[in-house]
Amino acid sequence: MSFFRRPDYQSDTTQFIEQLKAARPGLEQSQRQGRALLWDKQIDREFQARAEAARVPQQPYVYQTGSDHA
């Protein structure tokens, strides 16, 4: 170790997060469960392809119902 080496810098945000993790040990596990509930899903590729194929293109002017421009 060098005589001139300074201690590693930690920002206020990093210190806050470390203190929060120390105060609530189950926080990361809770976050992982929430992510799994909302984001980590299996995608049904066949259903997705059928949904894309069934999509009806939107008219340029959504309130126009036909070719009549009256």
Determine the residue type at 60.
P
Residue at 65 is within a domain: no
* Three-class DSSP labels, the chain: CCCCCCCCCCCHHHHHHHHHHHHCCCHHHHHHHHHHHHCCCCCCHHHHHHHHHHCCCCCCCCCCCCCCCC
- Tokens 């590729």 found at: 45
Domain that holds residue 40: 31-55
Residue at 14 is within a domain: no
- Beta-carbon contacts of 21 under 8 Å, excluding residues fewer than 6 positions away, are 27, 28
Residue at 24 is within a domain: no
Residue at 4 is within a domain: no
pLDDT tens profile 59-68: 788 787 766 5
Question: Into how many domains does the chain fold?
Answer: 1
Residue at 47 is within a domain: yes
Asked whether the predicted pLDDT for residue 33 surpasses 80, the reply is yes
Asked whether the predicted pLDDT for residue 19 surpasses 60, the reply is yes
Residue at 17 is within a domain: no
Residue at 41 is within a domain: yes
